[in-house]
Copies of this chain bind each other. A is one copy, B any other.
Amino acid sequence: MTTAQETERAADSALSNPSAVGLVAVIVAATDGEPRALTVQVGGQARGRSDGLPAGPLVPEHPTLERGLRAWVERQTHQRLGYVEQLYTFGDRDRQGDDGGGLHSLSVAYLALVRELRPAGLAEAAWRNWYHYLPWEDWRAGRPNSLGEIEAKLLAWAECAGDPKQRRRREDRLGLTFGLCGGAWNEERVLERYELLFEAGLIPEAQGQSGEAHDADLTVTGQPMALDHRRVLATAIGRLRGKIKYRPVVFELMPPTFTLFQLQRTVEALSGTNLHKQNFRRLVAQQGLVEETDGVTSGATGRPARLVRFRREVLLERPAPGFRLRPARRPA
């Protein structure tokens, strides 16, 4: 058979092997210096409800994936989406658990940034701090305490590997993702960390039922989510943390005017690290990302801060504006 014929047959085959395709959204806002994701309650039945991300099917009415997503999210959460970007397509055959049959089940995940945090339209929809689900990712108050326990369990997991080579590989991965064994913490490797924890059996979702976490887990390995939604969230956070370094997407999360410190707090919330204040403002100034307004803050303690606004023009000027995050070295 020729390649051309194979390709033809492939196309036919695709039509006769349809798959169920869903859309998932990680909708992010940042208010009061906290990063939040919009969550819904899923699984009303016996299995117990759990947090999940807004998700829905791809229906034929939608001309494009992205528009399908917007329509769906707006109906389900009453939240209008601004910036939207495709994240990843998750598609393991047994993704949704008991799939048995021949139907693949894909989820096309999207990341959306919204400017204001409305009281989350419906009762079932709620804004949750995303570190609630991935506590080890928040280093703003220094190395999270929970990492101690996680570290111990991960090292034990590496220890009990089959052969020395596998063990060595596991240790390498620990160093690379969690900064153990002499490695450094890289705030972008959110997904790799989650998947490592998953493999190590520290993530309740791995065992099927997701609602049965001990209280301890909530502060150490975080609140579970339905299906693979925590993985999707981890993907989103990692992507966003990378993106703010070379594109001014943070502004999608800011109100029309804000102070430089509010901006810094938002960047810190997303990246999970602290930044050096003076250098941060120098960076923003150099890049020409913002322009001053007449306004200043008032009421709070301390010297009032100038209000600034995002300069849309930078999108045309600078080839790749963004924040290269330089963490403020904190006194260990």
**Residues of chain A whose beta carbon lies under 8 Å from any beta carbon of chain B:** 2-8, 10-11, 13-15, 17-22, 40-44, 49, 52, 55-60, 62-65, 72, 75-77, 86, 88-89, 91-94, 101-106, 108, 122-125, 172, 175-176, 183-184, 186, 188, 315-316, 319-320
Evaluate whether A186 and B319 lie within 8 angstroms (CB atoms) in the complex, with A14-B21, A17-B59, A108-B91 already known.
yes
**A184 contacts which chain B residues (CB < 8 A)?**
319
Known: A21-B21, A92-B63. A172 touches B316 (CB 8 A): yes
25 of the cross-chain contacts (CB-CB < 8 Å) are: A3-B77, A3-B122, A4-B42, A6-B56, A6-B75, A6-B76, A7-B55, A7-B76, A10-B56, A11-B57, A13-B56, A14-B58, A17-B20, A18-B20, A18-B21, A19-B20, A21-B104, A60-B93, A60-B103, A65-B106, A86-B89, A89-B108, A91-B108, A184-B319, A186-B320
Cα(A7)–Cα(B45), bound, Å = 12
User: Taking chain A's interface residues, is the majority helix, strand, or loop, or is none over half, making it mixed?
Assistant: mixed
Known contacts A3-B123, A65-B92, A188-B320; can you find 4 more A-B pairs with CB under 8 A?
A: A17-B60, A21-B21, A65-B106, A91-B108
Q: In chain B, what residue has the closest Cβ to A44?
A: B4
Separation in Å of the A183 CB from the closest CB of chain B?
A: 7
* A58: contacting residue among B17, B52, B57, B63, CB under 8 A: B17
Chain B nearest CB from A99 CB (Å) reads 9
Rounded to whole Å, the gap between the CB of A57 and the closest CB of chain B is: 3
Q: Give the CA-CA distance A57 to B188 in the complex, in Å.
A: 33
Given contacts A18-B18, A21-B106, A108-B89, contact A4 B77 (CB under 8 A): no
Question: Which partner residue on chain B sits nearest A121 by CB separation?
Answer: B3
Which residue of chain B is the closest to A72 with respect to CB atoms?
Answer: B10
* Contact, CB under 8 Å: A7 / B89: no
The closest CB in chain B to the CB of A93 belongs to B63
Across the interface, which residues of B come within 8 angstroms of A75, CB to CB?
A: 6
Complex Cα gap A60–B106 (Å): 12
Contact assessment for A14 and B22 in the assembled complex, using a CB-CB cutoff below 8 Å: yes
Q: In whole angstroms, what is the CA distance A57 to B15 when docked?
A: 8
A181 to chain B, nearest CB (A): 9
Residues of chain B within 8 A of A59, CB atoms compared: 13, 17
Of B10, B40, B77, which one neighbours A57 at CB under 8 angstroms? Answer: B10
CA distance A319 to B22 in the complex (A): 34
Contact A14:B3 (CB < 8 A) given known A93-B62, A104-B58, A108-B89: no
